[in-house]
Chain A
Amino acid sequence: MGKDDFAKYPFLNEAGNFIKETYFDLDEFERPEFRHIIEKARKRVEYEVLKGIVCTEFEKYDLELFAFLISLIIIKHINIESITKKYSLFEAMRVEKFLTHDLIYQTNSKKRDLLISKIFHELLDLQIIQFDSQRNIFKMKISDYLSRSTLFHELEWKLINRSVDKGFVYLDVEETVRLVRNELSLLIYNKIKNMKITKIPDQIKLEADSIKHKVIFPTPVQTKNLKFPPCIEHALNQLNKNENLPHSARFLLATYMLFYGKSIDEIINIFKNAPDYNEQITRYQVEHLAGKKGSLIQYSVPSCSKLANENLCFYTHECKGITNPIQFGKKRLQRRND
């Protein structure tokens, strides 16, 4: 793999080895000649964390590679869970763009195969096979596909809407790469979490602190005074921690809030804490669930057994006797009245 590849895919072991071979020392970043790298890292973090835009700028490989490293240190120093998650997601989206481009335009088949092997096979433990190099079609086992695709909620990711044959799903490059976004994000997140830095250069600290001050925190949804069923409470807590909730949990939360008469805007506000929050998309989806868009049918709150199947049930003794989260308050109230 080339040095450019290390810069595009800086989480690869080879990229780490390359940095080690340069005998780089973090203290050197105190020197003014390295200021431009810190500046680049700051911009990258600001773009992704504050503006919510994927940074696809790509200059010289060594500059990019070190800027990535510094940006990780900045995120580590900021030390806010939601920021770490957001940054990881946007970095994954950056990788997604490079990877898609390389898989389409890399004409050297050996280089291409190596890229597939390093990223998909070694790093993500996903066996993809190039099926048609002319049309850039990849195939993967149905089970491998389903274990990832069920995290998406768009109809296009349903197995029925895919090319399926003899145990394999056939995907084009963009679809193949999109499918692993969450895993790439987790990979970067773990890199940040596992970093052990004893001393951060002052200049980096300064930049990190300045970004930290610019972060606007969404107001967490108050759950203390209201008694929600534990499944709802768990979903809200996850959102308050800026976790990327699975579709099924978002569905539960939205249908539950709609059932209890929360307005569309109030519900949208709840989802503001999601790392991939997009107001337009969220509004459409909540309106769809409310029966104001699409099929015009208001969706009902999933049953407890369905939630248990989807690992969204967090049963407590207070749930005894209920079959749907909407019964939670009522049954409790009834028991109290009894």
Chain B
Amino acid sequence: MGKRDYRDEMIKNETKNINFLQKCFKEYYFNKFKHLESPLDISRREFGFMSFDSKMTRHISFINMGQLNAFLIQNVPAGIYISNSYYDFPTFPINEKRLIGSDLIFDIDLKDLNLPCQKDHTYYICKYCDNISNNLPSSCSVCKSTKIDSTIIPCGICIRNLKNETKKLISFLVTDFGINHKSIYVYFSGNNGFHITALEKDYFNLDSKGRTDLVEYLMGKNFSVTSLGVTQYKNNLKVKIPISGLSYGWRKRISKNMKLFNITNNSLQKYVNRVGGYLLFKKEVENITGKMGVKIDPYVTMDIHRIFRMPGSINSKSGLSKVKCNNLDSFDPFSDACLFEDDRNVDVDVKTRLEFRFKRKKYILDKCSTTVPSSVGIYLVLKNLANLI
């Protein structure tokens, strides 16, 4: 087949997939609208919608959930987004919206964790001919196109690591930032991560610069050994613990990690010399901050004009919903976030051999046509790993 034939075939498949998905999404928003979490102060929030042909429309607002419901049934978007910021005029262009304040929001995503298992369940899909390979090719082995997409089916290890990172973030927010545990809400993003929202009035008016500093704190970035009292001037090491001490925050974390207790200038100086001097001490500190920092997507928190997938809405990259996790330990995204009814089966053409768990059932699918429950069909089509027949 030539490139053009592949393209025609893909357009045909895409149309079929989109018709199927639109029908399922419409049913969801008609029958399960109650799953959409009613946001605080809805009329002050900006909404955005992604269509099935990936066009984004922003600067929309609703005065109540009923109005949103009507909009969804009429327009059936692929993605529903809402701002974490509150505005006087949410429908105006960004510079004219008049910001009231913004909730703190964090994104923990699989892509930022760099887990070794990730390569085992990442699929590379040619944009032209749908050919799938398990390793990133420089060009497609079938049609030679260089336009390659990737998709991930997270495994148990991925989910466990995401949960641990989320817990690490919560611990920072409670211990260092004094945010009440009850004000922190954890959501499964609907695809490969968690969104964590902190509704804390003290940080509501923090501007983007303040949020950037806060993010750097959480990630362990820009730590200076001077803040431990260790400096070097013209090759001479100088140790003088700051007046504000080493009992809190990163200073405490680092000294504890180095097993330094009841530190004095003398003991710290000895420690620096023991590790091999200023530069090696600095290196060790960098390792500690890198290891202990939380792996969040910094831009998500820094950008106060961003819009986020609305809790309860369907993630158009997976068909799973963004849902609140009341118990993070027991939360299973492939069961608790799958809110589509399996009232029918669908026939799909699976593009590659797949092994995954869904709704507490293990699926081993070969590269061929098969019949699966509709929720599995939606998942595979949106993951770009199957086409609807």
**Interface residues in chain A, defined as those with a beta carbon under 8 Å from any beta carbon in chain B:** 135-137, 141-143, 146-147, 149-150, 155-156, 158-168, 170-172, 175, 248, 305, 308-311, 313, 315
Contacts and interface: CB of A to CB of B under 8 A. Distances in A.
5 contacts: A137-B243, A143-B202, A143-B210, A160-B227, A165-B178
A167 B179 CA distance: 7
Nearest to A158: B222
Contacts of B226: 155-156, 161
Contact of A142 (B202, B243, B305): B202
Top 8 closest A-B pairs, CB basis? A167-B178, A164-B249, A161-B227, A146-B210, A165-B248, A150-B209, A309-B208, A166-B178
Contacts of B208: 309-311
Nearest to B203: A143
Contact of A166 (B176, B207, B247): B176
B202 A146 contact: no
Interface in B163-220: 175-179, 202-203, 205-210, 212-214, 216-217, 220
Given A143-B203, A309-B302, A155 B244 contact: no
Contacts, number: 121
B206 A146 contact: yes
A171 B226 CA distance: 15
A162 B178 contact: no
Contact of B206 (A136, A147, A171, A309): A147
A165 B210 contact: no
A146 B301 CA distance: 15
Contacts of A159: 213-214, 216-217
B156 interface: no
Contacts of B223: 160-161
Contacts of B209: 146, 150, 248, 310
B353 interface: no
A224 B24 CA distance: 59
Contacts of B213: 146, 149-150, 158-160
Interface of B: 94-95, 175-179, 202-203, 205-210, 212-214, 216-217, 220-224, 226-227, 242-251, 289, 302-305
A19 B219 CA distance: 53
A167 B303 CA distance: 22
Given A160-B222, A161-B227, A165-B176, A172 B242 contact: yes
A164 B176 contact: yes
Contact of B249 (A135, A136, A165, A309): A165
A161 B222 contact: yes
A168 B178 contact: yes
Max count, chain A CB within 10 A of own CB: residue among B202, B207, B213 = B213
B325 to A, nearest CB: 24
A101 to B, nearest CB: 16
B220 A160 contact: yes
A89 B245 CA distance: 31
Nearest to A157: B213
Contact of A163 (B178, B207, B224, B249): B249
Given A166-B177, A311-B208, 7 more contacts: A136-B243, A150-B207, A159-B214, A163-B245, A165-B178, A165-B249, A168-B178
Contacts of B304: 309
A302 to B, nearest CB: 12
A309 B221 contact: no
B244 A147 contact: no
A310 B249 CA distance: 26
Contacts of B224: 155-156, 158, 161
Contacts of A160: 213, 216-217, 220-223, 227, 249-250, 289
Contacts of B251: 163
B303 A309 contact: yes
A135 B243 contact: yes
A158 B220 CA distance: 11
Contacts of B202: 141-143, 167
Given A143-B202, A164-B217, A308 B175 contact: no
A289 B311 CA distance: 42
A288 to B, nearest CB: 14
Contacts of B207: 147, 150, 311
Contacts of B248: 163-165, 170
A286 to B, nearest CB: 20
Contacts of A146: 206, 209-210, 213-214
A142 B201 CA distance: 12
Contacts of A156: 224, 226-227
Nearest to B218: A160
A158 to B, nearest CB: 5
Contacts of A150: 207, 209-210, 212-213
B216 A167 contact: no
A164 B245 CA distance: 11
A166 B176 CA distance: 5
Contacts of A142: 177-178, 202-203, 214
Nearest to B179: A167
A158 B216 contact: yes
A172 B243 CA distance: 6
B249 A308 contact: no
A146 B226 CA distance: 20
Contacts of A168: 178
A156 B213 CA distance: 12
A165 B175 contact: yes
Contacts of B222: 155, 158, 160-161
A137 B246 CA distance: 13
B242 to A, nearest CB: 7
A311 B249 CA distance: 30
A109 B191 CA distance: 58
Contacts of A172: 242-244
Contacts of A313: 95
Max count, chain B CB within 10 A of own CB: residue among A159, A162, A175, A308 = A159
Contacts of B212: 150
B330 to A, nearest CB: 29
A313 B214 CA distance: 22
Nearest to B173: A167
B244 A171 contact: yes
A158 B251 CA distance: 13
